[in-house]
């Protein structure tokens, strides 16, 4: 059997139709989108059509979508610009956010421009809405709430609509990192009041190095990257037209096939849990299975001498998985998410994450192979 890829929260394979769309543009549309001649106008039209595709998927204005290099830039842009340009002096977030958010918050605190508070997280890793309400009510400071839609390590889902209402009633800005959920769950920005939202193409079968940030029209901010007038004066630098086309095509397919993909991946995850727990009853599932992304599964195995080699042994057997966020690869510090939830645990944690390309046969192989590694 060929290699088994169960690390789709880290990245996903590019869809062949996405590759075809990108290749066509690479071949035929080499103009600079900022040029006024025919080739430039053609390139500009392609970018604006892609922007329309993203805006339609999110039910927002095309003027609220700005292309970036990925989710990290989008999150940095939302957090740092809200402090610099919107007068935010307090940010409420959680200790389980992605490192690009946590490290941005560290930089903001170090600069002395705003302070950060962490909302309470329950024992399963979910945000406590009542604590968020209490924190918002405790101060009249201009506040930004930054919480991810789905945790990238344990999969817990944020009740986005509820949090949006809480923030709106408190007069706070709301930034939501939707990198893991974009293309997997419906998001209606006309119905849900979000100030900033981020997405990254390579999480939904598009290319790496391209993403976007949604900025609500009510929020007037200055450019994050200085340069030319690209992205309506919001992000200098010649646009990555091939990546933008790939992102739009991947988004189009993800929305069109969302229900079918979700059902297949959900069924696969249920099968994996049933097979794994029946074979190895001592394993534990991290997070809140009743409110979790259907593609992410974090599993902890009992402490053993072989535990530290689990990921390596899986890889040697042709199975790709991870210990946590891919951004921590090669850094032997463990998962900050699991470390926060279970600070004294010596169990060994693996994140399996699935796609609609995976099969139950692959699950059977993984469960069988694990037997010789525990």
Measuring CA to CA, how many Å separate 288 from each of 108, 156, 235, 262, 293?
31, 6, 38, 18, 10
Q: Confidence band (pLDDT; 50, 70, 90) for 333? A: low
Going by the DSSP 8-state scheme, the letter that residue 160 receives in this structure is: H
- List b or e across 76-86, with b for residues whose CB sees 16 or more CB atoms inside 10 angstroms: bbbbbbbbbee
Mean pLDDT of the 270-297 span: 96
Q: How high is the pLDDT of residue 363?
A: 98
Work out whether the CA dihedral 195, 115, 67, 22 comes out positive or negative.
negative
Tell me which residues are annotated as active site. 327
Residues 6+ apart with CB under 8 A from 338: 153, 154, 286, 298, 300, 324, 345, 349
C-alpha torsion angle, residues 269, 275, 276, 277 (rounded to 10): 110
User: Going along 111-215, which residue ranges are E strands?
Assistant: 115-118, 143-146, 173-177, 196-200, 211-215
> Does residue 320 surpass a pLDDT of 90?
yes
Q: Confidence band (pLDDT; 50, 70, 90) for 372? A: confident
> Does residue 332 surpass a pLDDT of 60?
no
**pLDDT tens profile 120-131:** 999 999 999 999
For tokens 């901010």, name the residue: 221
User: Going along 178-274, which residue ranges are E strands?
Assistant: 196-200, 211-215
Q: Confidence band (pLDDT; 50, 70, 90) for 308? A: confident
Q: How high is the pLDDT of residue 325?
A: 61
Going by the DSSP 8-state scheme, the letter that residue 108 receives in this structure is: H
What is the residue-averaged pLDDT of the chain? 94
Measuring CA to CA, how many Å separate 331 from each of 20, 123, 326, 335?
36, 26, 10, 10
For tokens 């209606």, name the residue: 188
Q: How high is the pLDDT of residue 330?
A: 46
Domains and CATH numbers, the chain: 4-12+258-370 (3.90.1150.10), 16-256 (3.40.640.10)
**pLDDT tens profile 64-106:** 999 999 999 999 999 999 999 999 999 999 999 999 999 999 9
Q: Confidence band (pLDDT; 50, 70, 90) for 144? A: very high
Lookup: tokens for 56:
């339609």
> Does residue 58 surpass a pLDDT of 80?
yes
d(CA 21, CA 78): 30
Q: How high is the pLDDT of residue 317?
A: 95
d(CA 299, CA 231): 42
d(CA 173, CA 177): 13
pTM assigned to the model = 0.95
Q: How high is the pLDDT of residue 326?
A: 56
> Does residue 328 surpass a pLDDT of 80?
no
């Amino acid at each position: 059997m060929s290699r088994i890829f169960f690390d789709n929260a880290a990245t996903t394979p590019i869809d062949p139709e996405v590759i075809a769309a990108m290749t066509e543009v690479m071949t035929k549309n080499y103009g600079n989108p900022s040029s006024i001649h025919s080739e430039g106008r053609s390139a500009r039209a392609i970018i604006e059509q892609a922007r329309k595709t993203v805006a339609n998927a999110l039910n927002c204005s095309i003027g609220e979508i700005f292309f970036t290099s990925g989710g990290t830039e989008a999150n940095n842009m939302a957090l740092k610009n809200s402090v610099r340009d919107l007068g935010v002096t307090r940010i409420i977030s959680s200790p389980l956010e992605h490192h690009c958010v946590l490290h941005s918050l560290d930089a903001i605190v170090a600069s002395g421009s705003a302070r950060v508070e962490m909302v309470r997280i329950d024992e399963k890793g979910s945000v406590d809405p009542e604590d968020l309400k209490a924190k918002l009510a405790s101060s009249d400071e201009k506040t930004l709430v930054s919480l991810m839609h789905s945790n990238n390590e344990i999969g817990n889902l944020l009740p986005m609509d509820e949090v949006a209402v809480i923030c709106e009633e408190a007069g706070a800005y709301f930034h939501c990192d939707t990198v893991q959920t974009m293309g997997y769950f419906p998001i209606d920005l006309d119905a849900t009041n979000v100030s900033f939202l981020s997405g990254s193409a390579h999480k939904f079968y598009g290319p790496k190095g391209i993403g976007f940030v949604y900025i609500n029209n009510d929020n007037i901010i200055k450019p994050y990257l200085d340069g030319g007038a690209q992205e309506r004066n919001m992000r200098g630098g010649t646009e990555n037209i091939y990546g933008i086309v790939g992102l739009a095509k991947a988004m189009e397919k993800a929305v069109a096939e969302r229900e079918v993909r979700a059902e297949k991946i959900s069924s696969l995850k249920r099968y994996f849990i049933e097979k794994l727990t029946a074979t190895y009853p001592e394993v534990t599932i991290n997070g809140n299975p009743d409110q979790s992304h259907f593609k992410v599964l974090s599993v902890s195995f009992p402490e053993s001498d072989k535990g530290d080699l689990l990921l390596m042994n899986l890889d040697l057997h042709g199975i790709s998985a991870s210990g946590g966020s891919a951004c921590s690869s090669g850094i032997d510090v463990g998962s900050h998410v699991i470390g926060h939830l279970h600070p004294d645990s010596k169990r060994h944690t693996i994140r399996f994450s699935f796609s609609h390309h995976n099969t139950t046969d692959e699950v059977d192989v993984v469960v069988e192979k694990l037997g010789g590694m525990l």
